[in-house]
Amino acid sequence: MIKDYQLFFFENTAVKVTANGVQFLPNKDVKNYVFKENIIKGSLSKSKETFFEPYKDEKGNNRVKITYNNCDFLNYLINTSCVYWENDYKSYQKEEKPWGVEHLLNSPYLSEQEQITQEQHFLSKCYAIGYMLHRWNDVNFPVFIYVTDDQVKEDNNEANGGTGKSMFAQGIEQLAKFFHPQDSGKKDILEDKHIFGGLKDYHDAILFDDVNQNQDFRSFYTLITRGITPNTKNVQQERFFSFEERPKIMGTFNYGLKDDSSAGLRRVFFVTFSSYYHKINKTMGREYQPYDDFKKRFYKEWNPQEWNVFYNFMLRCCQFYIANQDNHYFAPSDNLKKNNLKAIIGNTFLEWAEDYFDEERLNIEINKKELVDNCKASCGHIKLTNAKIQTKLEQFCTLKGYLFSGTIKKTEYIGLSRTTVQYLCVSTPNTPTAPSTVVNTPTPTPHITDNLSQEIDF
């Protein structure tokens, strides 16, 4: 594995991708040994197209100019980057224009900032493709490609399937040999000591597809930053894949990341998908999938010319990554942060907090003990310490755009006795905080739960 280039082997030629471009190498001039599994089943001819050109605008924003629009996969990436597509759709409907004919990141119906956001989503996808296709593992950038949805979820249990995430992975798999770990059904998939059984030298990438909602992402930390021993059943003395040798790692998720620690976030590169393709959508009122746009099934119904365009585009993504290994193209993260916070807070606590902090309890100091007792009674089937409640309150305030006071200590008198009473305050910005008053709300009766609860402990 070399940092400055990547070799790809097709049936008729080999190519060397560098930061400067794609060089074709006749098979007779190639001195490398290659596994038959790593020979891409197809022929390649050189394209003069650059497909896309990144640039920075006068404000320093990462932007992109699409230079070729006759590539199905490129147009699919554009569509899945259109996080403001619903604004577009409404305008198209109003003007009675056909939908799905144009594939634009910078639609004239959008504001400049909305256009920039969509362009940056597109660039992050191209960057992630290049990262996955380049076998070099950079010790300064050890990341897990986390493919998920951009749309803010109303409920953390809401799974936004059908947005095109699996098709993204399948596209990369046309040029890279994937290893697919088998899900053993354990709560933590990595508890299976044979999870990587069968991993071979010819595997370029590991794909965890449709990862379970309750998977603890912290289990992946060691995998991301260190090597792998396959531990295949009934096989002794298997080789160890060092960090430099191990395949790249990617996963598709329908849920937010339940880890907002710096240790977790620096190990993740998010690739987020719009709801342009969907199973259910209120704006369009029907299911909409790639076939509706392209009238063909990707990877199954392409002709040789379409395959050639696809291969050249993917090689362009690899070139883009190699040229920018120290200049990472991250996806816009506003919606992503909201989904991650909802996943961390959990539905039970979130429902309690949204109900508890009505207009009467915003911008006013509330007795901390009364608040904690109310929370524990309402959320009785999850384990909540006082410290966890305060942490989740801080996260709730971040999610809602509220301000959190932290603990406020006051000296009060009960009869002739002086005592310290603790208060908390959740307030809206630019609103004065009222002094503490008594809000007469009974503490809910604690839940009686059974062992069938599907909630996870926090």
pLDDT of residue 238: 77
**Residue 455 pLDDT:** 41
Dump pLDDT digits (tens) for 389-445: 999 999 999 888 999 988 899 988 877 788 999 999 999 988 776 666 544 445 555
Q: What is the pLDDT of residue 444?
A: 54
Q: How confident is residue 155, by pLDDT bands cut at 50, 70 and 90? A: low
pLDDT of 451 > 70? The answer is no
How far apart are alpha carbons 159 and 138 in whole angstroms?
33
Among 2-6, 10-14, 65-69, 454-458, the minimum mean pLDDT is found in 454-458
Instruction: Using alpha carbons, select from 139, 138, 87, 72 the residue that is nearest to residue 117.
Output: 87
What confidence tens digit (pLDDT) does each residue in 323-365 have? 999 999 999 988 888 888 888 888 889 999 999 999 889 999 9
Average of per-residue pLDDT across 208-214: 89
Mean pLDDT (the chain) is: 89
Task: Give the separation between CA 431 and CA 98, rounded to whole angstroms.
Answer: 47
Q: What is the pLDDT of residues 66-82, one digit of tens each?
A: 999 999 999 999 999 99
Report the range out of 10-19, 94-103, 333-342, 398-407 with the highest average pLDDT: 10-19
pLDDT for residue 454 is more than 70: no
Measured distance CA(156)–CA(458) in Å, rounded: 14
Measured distance CA(423)–CA(415) in Å, rounded: 20
pLDDT of res. 156: 61
User: pTM to 2 decimals?
Assistant: 0.84
Short-list 348, 355, 358, 427, CA closest to 392: 348
Phi, psi at 64, each rounded to 5°: -145, 145
According to the model, what pLDDT value does residue 121 have? 97
Taking the CA atoms of residue 433, residue 435, residue 440 and residue 446 in that order, the dihedral angle to the nearest 10 degrees is: 70
Query: Using alpha carbons only, what angle is made at residue 128 by residues 257 and 202, rounded to the nearest 5 degrees?
Result: 105
Predicted confidence (pLDDT) per residue in 363-373, tens digit: 999 999 999 99
Residue-wise pLDDT tens digits, 241-272: 999 999 999 999 998 888 777 787 889 999 99
State residue 453's pLDDT score: 37
Q: In the predicted model, is pLDDT for residue 217 greater than 70? A: yes
Q: Which of 202, 206, 195, 207 is nearest to 232 (CA)?
A: 195
Band (pLDDT 50/70/90 cuts) for residue 28 is confident
Consecutive H or E run containing 338: helix 334-345
Beta pairing class for 52-56 and 62-66: antiparallel
Strand residue runs (E) in 26-120: 39-40, 52-56, 62-66
pLDDT at position 151 over 60: yes
Per-residue pLDDT, 458: 34
